[in-house]
Structure 1
Amino acid sequence: MGEFEAADLGDFVMRAGIGDGGTVDCVATIIGSWIDPLVSALLFFSSVDRVGDERRERSLCIEFHCKMVPDLTRVHTEYSAPIILLIHTARGTARSMQCPMDAAASGTSPVMQFHGIVDEPPSHSSPLHTALERSQRHCYGHETPGEFPLAVSPSIATCTFFSKPANFEPNFALSLPEVAAFDMCHKRPMVKLMAQQEREQLKQRCGGSWKLVFKYIVARERNYSRIVAGPGHSIVVTTKGDAYSFGANCWGQLGLGDTEDRFKPCLIRSLQGIKITQAAVGSRQTMLVSDTGSVYAFGKGSFVWEELSDAADHITTPKIVESLKGVFVVQAAIGGYFSAFLSREGQVYTISWGRTERLGHSSDPSDVEPRLLSGPLEGVLVAQISAGNCYLLMLVYQPTGMSVYSVGCGLGGKLGHGCKNNKGTPKLIEHFLTLSFNPVSVAAGTWHAAALGDDGRVCTWGWGHTGCLGHGDEEYRVLPTVVQGLSNVKAVHVSTGEYTTFVVSDNGDTYSFGSAESLNIGFQEDEEAADDADFSTPSLVESLKVLNDKAVQISTTNSSYWLNSEMGYPHTFALMESGKLYAFGGGIKGQLGVKLSEGQERAQNPERVPIDLC
């Protein structure tokens, strides 16, 4: 499973709630920093008791903690990570189990101990002990957020225990993590709707393990776009899968059936009953992806409009993209000159403009069908796609680590290959190996790019105009370069715009650098001076810190088409751990979700958007 810095694991919690009919409805909250899902999630299951010939299922709730040994600087999680297991029965009582730590880390005996509490009616359950209760934490990302107090004495177990056969269905030979990973994977619609043969093929492509399949799924879901600050309009997707839109609507890009601008979030009612998981926006268009793999498009000109619009030049209500019906799409991305789609099988399809060759593959310029990117991507799993103005980044999953491929226009070095040449087919960015940098997320800005590493470092490359690369100058970089100004920050999220970059740290602080022209960088207070202000090194966004809430995701306008009468100035969203959404920057078309004062064009400080994403 690889090694991790002791500080990386910290304290994290995975929780499962009791569902209907004796099932376990799993929801996970990772607290602290990025943690390898192989170590984290895989411990939710229902225990099975047999009384004679009767098979009786009893729901359990497991809370899984990992506390690293303080004096160990590096810990191999396969053998020596101490784990605390807290097991809660449906009746509200609890039991803990203990199995030995490895000899290298402990002198405990190799005898497994069970400390059981006899099941009692709820009225006889032991009261909670205040001294043992954890501080309550908000379960961000679950449609019914709640708190889970603890009232048991935990015991110690080791990861080696979980490598043994667990004797659980569907395969009694699978280890407990494999059983749990199998369960977590099959709760995802993308796996649930697969044929058995397709599931097995996905498992083999991921390395032959359900843990690795789950790791791949988590890597992909981590990068879903639920808040999108477009060039003039905005899209927000709630945990329940509802889609809201607001802002400029001159081409029907809000999907509300008309072309009137909106200054507050409006539910796209024509999609009620359809669960939306991800959104993508362009200069005048929007795409939404559902949990069943369908793509809905509306607005004007996103290279699928030829099949959708008939005689009309724009679409005001969502229409399904028929040419993608044979593809289960999990992510969509819109660039300045192309659209890209990621399938559940980890394959990438593109539709591009017809001037010369299409992005990533050669085809007739009149061909408007989505085409599969193959060549260097043959046989690999793509976990994320990110679109810039005229180029595409692809995060490729491998059991041993991630890698990044790029394709398209190379001006300014934004493809990351050490030159400014264009690439007609995807090419591996090899420099990450030189940096010993394992990317877990990529962000393609309009003219520059960024990558987040599993160790919390951030790399940037491409055009450095206004200091958007964060290296203290405005020079371009043709190779990924670590942002030294973030050396004391452990980053967990990165977002790029036209000439701006945002980084969120593991403690919820937000840093930004680049152009402050529209006040969308978060810390320029003088509106008159903002037009000429650039920040070439990372600075803490104090206006978000004073909200006493932790940022989890940032989206900033990523387009060169914002400055016109249709769009207004670019803007930025900050999604907080509490589920609250804040916006700042340009807002004359309603893209902030709040109406500004008379004569005001930009919001200097974060404005609360009247919508809760939880």
Structure 2
Amino acid sequence: MADKNRSVSIEDLPSHLIFEILTTGRLSAVDLACLELTSRTFGGSHGLYPQKFRSLVDFAAYQLCVSHRVYSGMGWNAQKGLFGRCEGNWKRVLRFLQAVEESSGMVKTSASNVFTCGDNSSFCCGHNDTNRPIFRPRLVEALKGVPCKQVAVGLNFTVFLTRQGQLYTCGTNTHGQLGHGDTQDRPTPKIIELLEGVGSVVQIAAGPSYVLAVTDNGVVYSFGSGSNLCLGHGEQHDEFRPRAIQTFRRKDIHVVHVSAGDEHAVALDSSGFVYSWGKGYCGALGHGDEIDKTLPALVNCLKSHLAVQVCARKRKTFVLVDGGSVYGFGWMGFGSLGFPDRGVSDKVMRPRVLDSLRARHVSQISTGLYHTVVVTNQGQMFGFGDNERAQLGHDTLRGCLQPTEIFVQETADDTGLASEGK
């Protein structure tokens, strides 16, 4: 009779069950690497995988990669390129894919209903019964029952990305930024029918008057204002209909993320390469000069790094690499570029690592006009730049050149206590 009190170690489990645990998708690439180092069970041979894999963990990482949304949508050349960039290490490929997903800004909720608030004078909040400000978050009725996973906001228009990969837009349409083939304003969200048949949209970004949309096959579509060359077609005229950027239609380029700045745009491909285009003011494109780029151009200074996120705003750009380091370039913008040894209006012409964050492993970065916030893999937040309106979460600072931690105080509601003083 078996001893019910005997403890069971993971080594006692059947190998196929161990493999199933490893491939549930709940473990990160770092978790897998730690398991491989700490137990022969995960590093040894079990006859469950081809000999070309180094260990059970390596085979599990491979299985997680091939089932990942980004990797499975890549062509053979793009997959081969990423594997080579990761030095033939499937755990590193998985770490790259998970880091891109973590920094994407996508939301996962049960209902995915969208609520909006703010100035609705251009109907960019999606409520056509009033053009007055919406002071409290209000459900967008036109999207009720349409699950959304991302929202991007321009100067006076809004773009909604659904779980099914479709786009809805509303608001001002002066430059065709709503993507319906005309310049007619839309008071409530309307689906962009012109994108049907091009693939499922997986990520969006909105500039002041233009939109970038990434499809599951790695192609980028742009529409709206072409005044700052941000559409990436080599021309400055407006595009009323979504148009594919031809640079990203090459078989070896599969874009996974884009960021829309005020006067320039940045893209990240599946090999961790960074591309930029638009106005080159203050070195925001990262090419060491201020020359405009009419078409997306590879940022050669970052070729040796595996980038996982790009973030652009007014004349500045940030690039997060897979080791958790952040590179910044462009206009300092009241210190929002994060280099305390540079003046608040200086230019940083080439990508430069933020030394003040070297001790932190950054997992996501977001920047506004004059301030920037980063989140670490430990859940800490750091902000720098202008703080005139307390946008950095500090009531004692006017501005901050050095990244300073933002502390969120727990309230009674945060800890689950009732307001009656229990």
TM-score normalized by the length of structure 2 = 0.75
State the partner residue of 1:27. Answer: 26
Tell me the SS of whatever aligns to 2:160. Answer: strand
Tell me the SS of whatever aligns to 2:288. Answer: coil
State the partner residue of 1:550. Answer: 361
Asked if 1:225 is matched to 2:111, the reply is no
Considering Cα pairs closer than 8 Å and 6+ residues apart, tell me whether 1 or 2 has the greater RCO: 1
Kindly state the Cα deviation for residue 430 of structure 1 after the two structures are TM-superposed: 1.3
Q: In 2, distance between residues paired with 1:412 and 1:577?
A: 35
1:209-608 → structure 2 map (5 Å cutoff): 221-222=101-102, 224-225=104-105, 277=107, 290-301=109-120, 303-305=123-125, 307=127, 310=130, 313-355=132-174, 359-362=178-181, 365=184, 367-378=186-197, 380-398=199-217, 402-434=218-250, 436-525=252-341, 529-531=343-345, 533-545=346-358, 548-557=359-368, 570-597=370-397, 601-608=398-405
Kindly state the Cα deviation for residue 353 of structure 1 after the two structures are TM-superposed: 0.7
Tell me the SS of whatever aligns to 1:413. Answer: coil
Per-residue CA deviations over 1:78-122 (Å, capped at 9, x if unaligned) read xxxxxx9749xxxxxxxx87116646x49xxxxxxxxxxxxxxxx
Kindly state the Cα deviation for residue 423 of structure 1 after the two structures are TM-superposed: 1.0
- Which 5+ residue runs of structure 2 have no aligned equivalent? 1-18, 76-96, 411-422
State the partner residue of 1:60. Answer: none
Q: In 1, distance between residues paired with 2:327 and 2:58?
A: 37
Per-residue CA deviations over 1:407-459 (Å, capped at 9, x if unaligned) read 11112321111222221111111112459332111111111111112222110
Matched-pair contact (CA < 8 Å) for 1:97–1:157: no
Q: In 1, distance between residues paired with 2:32 and 2:382?
A: 32
Per-residue CA deviations over 1:346-397 (Å, capped at 9, x if unaligned) read 1111113154756210468364121211325425100001111111111100
Tell me the SS of whatever aligns to 1:605. Answer: strand
Corresponding letter in the other structure for 1:417:
H
Q: Percent identity of the aligned residues?
A: 29
Tell me the SS of whatever aligns to 1:395. Answer: strand
Matched-pair contact (CA < 8 Å) for 2:179–2:194: no
Tell me the SS of whatever aligns to 1:375. Answer: helix
Matched-pair contact (CA < 8 Å) for 2:331–2:347: yes
- Which 5+ residue runs of structure 1 have no aligned equivalent? 1-13, 18-23, 32-62, 69-83, 88-95, 107-153, 164-175, 186-204, 208-216, 227-276, 279-289, 559-569
Alignment CA distance shift 1:363-1:433 (3 Å): closer
Kindly state the Cα deviation for residue 491 of structure 1 after the two structures are TM-superposed: 1.1
State the partner residue of 1:610. Answer: 407
Q: In 1, distance between residues paired with 2:140 and 2:178?
A: 19
Q: Which moved more, 1:366-375 or 1:577-586?
A: 366-375
Q: Identify the structure with the greater helix proportion.
A: 2
Matched-pair contact (CA < 8 Å) for 2:382–2:404: yes
Matched-pair contact (CA < 8 Å) for 1:581–1:612: no
Q: In 2, distance between residues paired with 1:356 and 1:476?
A: 21
Matched-pair contact (CA < 8 Å) for 1:582–1:607: yes
Q: In 1, distance between residues paired with 2:323 and 2:177?
A: 42
Paired residues, number: 364
Matched-pair contact (CA < 8 Å) for 1:552–1:576: yes
Q: Identify the structure with the greater strand proportion.
A: 1
Q: In 2, distance between residues paired with 1:421 and 1:435?
A: 27
Tell me the SS of whatever aligns to 1:407. Answer: strand
* Superposed CA RMSD: 3.9
Alignment CA distance shift 1:509-1:293 (3 Å): same
Corresponding letter in the other structure for 1:424:
F
